[in-house]
Amino acid sequence: RSELVIDPATGDLVGEREITTEVQDGIPAGTVTGETVVTRSLVDAVPSSVVDIAQVWDCNVALDGATACTP
């Protein structure tokens, strides 16, 4: 099962986790098998180390709601 963790005070996404719903490869049901924590901070500028590796994609939404992106 995939769960999104939302801060009830702000509505911000603060994390996500994957949980087994049945025994899987010997892992008991209810075990957290993966998690991500989301943090944010305000900066004056994007660090050059981030700009150097960033990929900019052009995305468009079609009339049927499908999204297509190209680098």
Which helix (H) or strand (E) element contains residue 49?
helix 48-53
Q: How far is residue 57's CA from residue 55's CA, in Å, rounded to a whole number?
A: 6
Q: Could you read off the pLDDT of 8-36 as tens digits, one per residue?
A: 999 999 999 999 999 999 999 999 999 99
* Res. 63 pLDDT band, cuts 50 70 90: very high
pTM given for the model: 0.50
pLDDT of residue 4: 95
How many CA within 13 A on the CB side of residue 3? 14
